[in-house]
Chain A
């Protein structure tokens, strides 16, 4: 089903700026209370990388494109553009037209005037991602991809000043409402970048006015604006009074839950909820207790407490069901995997599990076969994940739900394999290299309680096949550094979709991405060749076949053991309506409402 966005923009021009205080009495306000389990870092789209900041940003800023709220797999639709981009036949030029009459939210930077959204604002926003001063973690979305942009970046690195006024061949605005982007290479997936929640339009006046403090002054064209902000503690959003008119509209569906959502939401002016109150609560115990006491309306980070409210089959337990609490359960577009460093050396030391000789592959294969993924799912995840076999998770273009990996749990076979290749057990029960030298696997993780569980599982699994394991504990930042230098031997990793396309996952194993995202430092000529072919293809059966071969090649070389993809269990209070977890969008509350009639008592505000 397709959702149709309605807009009557011409009215807005005449509208005077609305005073910031909402006309409705506070008690009549619809307020949604949520929690984050970790602190945000700020709300400047070009400066953040963390999930929680992005959630807030996606409520305030508008990207050019977005995804349909109900459609699965995720389906691109226009947002502030009039239609999906026109893509040239060579897949190198993208042209879009922006709807007219959209204005930015109020800010002193606009000196009391309505500030219309123009194509230039998007060009400016894109340039901000590559400005070295901003150190944007998402610079890779544009770097090396847009004609003429990299030259400007290197100039900025020399002069220390990014020239935003310089013309860039690849970023053009032929008229104030038309946008033309020229890519250096064929890329049929670039639309996803334009739908990326952080690639929303910022106003240059605002950014220049607040300078270094831009993180605390987000001003966008989106449905919400920042009302109150207590860093890393409380974030309060309220309806943007200057937001364009937008109605909830979707076609009838055969899917029963979807139809229920459609019934309750159809035709409503968006956003329907007046305020979003976000508290940051670090500890699961606090979040769970707060939800039970209806201090929060929605809770989606309770993985470790899932057995508290879920039956083993994944349904809500009856006491909660009777209270009317709702559960939305879906699989995240995410994979967890155990990677093996396949490089010959680590630093200047030989890597005991690296290289592509048979004994080395056999060693990695044995480790992969001995690691007990079932226990990871049952004990660590508390049943809240599904086994992952394919590098592309559900909900992402290119996913193969029927695929079964050739790496399966079989410690007996793993033992036999090791015996076969001469990894003999010593007196203490631990194996050594075929040449008799000591064999110690080094597994890296961060010093948090969660990782300790993985450590324990890893240790149990390796003990089962007689491999000695040492665990390297390091802070997350340190591990990131080591991993990008190929100096980690084994580590658990996870990747969540930046955009719902298989390429976002397959690039993790591409040889030239070693030192960037390819933590296994996996360099396979055949894989790389297949990947390069896939890059030139749009989503489709042809590309899926390449992905399949790449996956099997990775398994044959045993660079990764895919483990699982987590369920996302979202608990909602009875009065929250219209929620459906979206694989990519994080701002479902734009499309939701609060049904006061179902409210037993007012939640504590």
Chain B
């Protein structure tokens, strides 16, 4: 049978019909599409920054300290209270009776008349201004976007992975498995978020992006767990799962081949909700001192720096970071809503 041969070839490459259906529904939501566009734009920035195409030398001191914005987007009059920077020329006080073992070496080196490296010219204004060291706020914002986005995304992945795995087991198997996992869940949720964060931070005892991700991931899984457990409990006795059982599908196959695709829209929505909430949490973590390390920059670290700067009238860092964050978070939220609508099984 020619036809069945041809079909057989295609069988292996089954199209993702439901997802494409959701996609076409999403395409009808103009606002959702715009939001998606914004998110994709940010994603491009993140990738470009990660690849080092943009904002590579964000830590380069391009402008003078607190250089104001030059009016492209914001404008501010240059501050008059520039602090005088004068390098003192030192006449070392002579002290008798103490020998400096390095003195001979230093003298010879000094005699070879080393030229002090010329400080490069620094700009008086920058598009979005400069921070206290004179680093370009625009580049910092771009780099911060990369960090915050990655932190949000990876932490969300971690929490969703953890929450859905545990939730799937608890909801699917029920009984003692459910009791134990539920016990862990209720223990975790009974402890207030702040204390849990502080406690986990104390355990990890390290700072940096990976720590932030771990803290957020390890504290953020409970919501996903609750949802996934409920979904699995609901689906576990659905007829299609029973049908799978009656044709001899194993537990793992039923859990991950049959049920998982049917709850994946919940996961996707949870994922994007968590991305948003984790990007916001990163700011709070930074405030608590569990932010990213000094060799990188995130929106949280920028906002924390900007806190006192605002009172000094240096508002541009606060404005840049807040705007960049608000735009992405808004777009992401709108996109999540659109996604939820598009994936809503009720609308089928």
Interface set of A (CB-CB < 8 Å, partner B): 284-285, 288, 304-305, 307-308, 311-312, 358, 361-362, 365, 374-375, 378-379, 382-383, 387, 400, 402-406, 408-413, 416-417, 420, 446-449, 452-453, 455-456, 459-460, 471, 473-475, 526, 548-549, 551-553, 555-556
Complex Cα distance A424/B98, Å? 30
Q: Does B115 contact A (CB under 8 A)?
A: yes
Q: By the criterion CB–CB under 8 Å, are A473 and B207 in contact? A: yes
Q: By the criterion CB–CB under 8 Å, are A412 and B92 in contact? A: no
CB nearest to A454 among chain B residues: B294
State which of A308, A402, A420, A553 has its C-beta within 8 Å of the C-beta of B98.
Answer: A553
Listed stretches B83-91, B161-169, B252-260, B335-343; interface member: B83-91
How many contacts between A and B, using CB within 8 angstroms?
Answer: 132
State which of B100, B105, B110, B307 has its C-beta within 8 Å of the C-beta of A556.
Answer: B100
State which of A307, A412, A526 has its C-beta within 8 Å of the C-beta of B116.
Answer: A412
Q: By the criterion CB–CB under 8 Å, are B100 and A387 in contact? A: no
Closest approach, in angstroms, between the C-beta of A527 and any C-beta of chain B? Answer: 10
- Which A residues touch B115, using CB under 8 A? 412
Beyond A284-B308, A404-B93, A446-B289, is A358–B101 a contact (Cβ under 8 Å)? yes
Q: By the criterion CB–CB under 8 Å, are A305 and B311 in contact? A: yes
Beyond A413-B114, A549-B97, A556-B98, is A420–B105 a contact (Cβ under 8 Å)? yes
Q: By the criterion CB–CB under 8 Å, are B294 and A471 in contact? A: yes
Q: By the criterion CB–CB under 8 Å, are B93 and A403 in contact? A: yes
Closest approach, in angstroms, between the C-beta of A451 and any C-beta of chain B? Answer: 8
Complex Cα distance A307/B305, Å? 16
Q: By the criterion CB–CB under 8 Å, are B83 and A383 in contact? A: yes
Closest approach, in angstroms, between the C-beta of B255 and any C-beta of chain A? Answer: 41
Q: By the criterion CB–CB under 8 Å, are A447 and B207 in contact? A: yes
Q: By the criterion CB–CB under 8 Å, are A405 and B304 in contact? A: no
Complex Cα distance A137/B290, Å? 29
Complex Cα distance A284/B99, Å? 46
Beyond A365-B102, A379-B133, is A449–B205 a contact (Cβ under 8 Å)? no
Q: By the criterion CB–CB under 8 Å, are A379 and B132 in contact? A: yes
Q: By the criterion CB–CB under 8 Å, are A402 and B106 in contact? A: no
CB nearest to B114 among chain A residues: A412
Q: Does B301 contact A (CB under 8 A)?
A: yes
Complex Cα distance A312/B84, Å? 7
Q: Does B239 contact A (CB under 8 A)?
A: no
Q: By the criterion CB–CB under 8 Å, are B312 and A307 in contact? A: yes
Q: By the criterion CB–CB under 8 Å, are B83 and A417 in contact? A: no
Closest approach, in angstroms, between the C-beta of B120 and any C-beta of chain A? Answer: 13
Beyond A378-B83, A459-B295, is A417–B105 a contact (Cβ under 8 Å)? yes
Q: By the criterion CB–CB under 8 Å, are A549 and B95 in contact? A: yes
Beyond A358-B102, A362-B105, A456-B133, is A288–B311 a contact (Cβ under 8 Å)? yes
Q: Mark B298-333, 1 if CB is under 8 A from A, else 0.
A: 000100110110111100000000000000000000
**Which of the listed residues A288, A308, A387 has the most CB atoms from chain B within 10 Å of its own CB?**
A308
Q: By the criterion CB–CB under 8 Å, are A448 and B133 in contact? A: no
Q: By the criterion CB–CB under 8 Å, are A406 and B207 in contact? A: no
Complex Cα distance A27/B9, Å? 95
Q: By the criterion CB–CB under 8 Å, are B101 and A411 in contact? A: no
**8 Å CB interface, B151-180 against A:** none
Complex Cα distance A556/B294, Å? 31
Q: Does B223 contact A (CB under 8 A)?
A: no
- Which B residues touch A449, using CB under 8 A? 287, 289, 304-305, 307
Complex Cα distance A311/B82, Å? 9
- Which B residues touch A549, using CB under 8 A? 95-98
- For chain B, give the interface size range: 35 or more
Q: By the criterion CB–CB under 8 Å, are A312 and B95 in contact? A: no
Interface of B is mostly: loop
Q: Does B7 contact A (CB under 8 A)?
A: no
Can you spell out 30 A-B residue pairs with CB atoms less than 8 angstroms apart?
A285-B308, A305-B311, A308-B313, A358-B101, A358-B105, A362-B102, A383-B83, A404-B93, A408-B88, A408-B92, A409-B87, A413-B109, A416-B112, A446-B289, A447-B291, A448-B289, A449-B289, A449-B304, A452-B305, A455-B294, A456-B294, A460-B61, A460-B133, A471-B294, A471-B295, A473-B207, A549-B95, A551-B95, A552-B95, A555-B100
Complex Cα distance A379/B135, Å? 13
Q: Does B8 contact A (CB under 8 A)?
A: no
Closest approach, in angstroms, between the C-beta of A129 and any C-beta of chain B? Answer: 32
- Which A residues touch B304, using CB under 8 A? 449, 452
Interface of A is mostly: helix
Q: Does B5 contact A (CB under 8 A)?
A: no
Closest approach, in angstroms, between the C-beta of A543 and any C-beta of chain B? Answer: 15
- Which B residues touch A413, using CB under 8 A? 106, 109-110, 114
- Which B residues touch A284, using CB under 8 A? 308, 311
Closest approach, in angstroms, between the C-beta of B118 and any C-beta of chain A? Answer: 11
Complex Cα distance A409/B85, Å? 13
- Which A residues touch B313, using CB under 8 A? 308
Complex Cα distance A453/B305, Å? 9
Beyond A409-B87, A420-B105, is A285–B98 a contact (Cβ under 8 Å)? no
Q: By the criterion CB–CB under 8 Å, are B133 and A459 in contact? A: no
State which of B93, B109, B117 has its C-beta within 8 Å of the C-beta of A420.
Answer: B109
- Which B residues touch A455, using CB under 8 A? 294
Q: By the criterion CB–CB under 8 Å, are B295 and A311 in contact? A: no
- Which A residues touch B88, using CB under 8 A? 387, 408
Q: Does B127 contact A (CB under 8 A)?
A: no
State which of B90, B92, B99, B106 has its C-beta within 8 Å of the C-beta of A417.
Answer: B106
Q: By the criterion CB–CB under 8 Å, are B301 and A452 in contact? A: yes
- Which B residues touch A548, using CB under 8 A? 93, 95
Q: By the criterion CB–CB under 8 Å, are A406 and B100 in contact? A: yes
Beyond A308-B311, A383-B83, A420-B109, is A404–B91 a contact (Cβ under 8 Å)? yes
Complex Cα distance A447/B211, Å? 13
Complex Cα distance A555/B112, Å? 23
- Which A residues touch B83, using CB under 8 A? 307, 312, 378, 382-383
Q: By the criterion CB–CB under 8 Å, are A416 and B308 in contact? A: no
Q: By the criterion CB–CB under 8 Å, are B85 and A378 in contact? A: yes
CB nearest to A458 among chain B residues: B294
Closest approach, in angstroms, between the C-beta of B140 and any C-beta of chain A? Answer: 12
Ranked 6 nearest A-B pairs via Cβ? A447-B289, A473-B207, A455-B294, A552-B95, A552-B98, A556-B100
Q: By the criterion CB–CB under 8 Å, are B101 and A361 in contact? A: yes
- Which B residues touch A307, using CB under 8 A? 81, 83, 312
Q: Does B65 contact A (CB under 8 A)?
A: yes
CB nearest to A387 among chain B residues: B88
Sample of 10 further A-B pairs with CB below 8 A, known A307-B81, A460-B59: A305-B312, A312-B83, A361-B101, A374-B85, A374-B86, A379-B65, A402-B93, A408-B88, A410-B116, A447-B207
- Which A residues touch B101, using CB under 8 A? 358, 361, 556
Complex Cα distance A344/B82, Å? 44
Complex Cα distance A308/B308, Å? 11
- Which B residues touch A387, using CB under 8 A? 88
**Which of the listed residues B86, B205, B287 has the most CB atoms from chain A within 10 Å of its own CB?**
B205
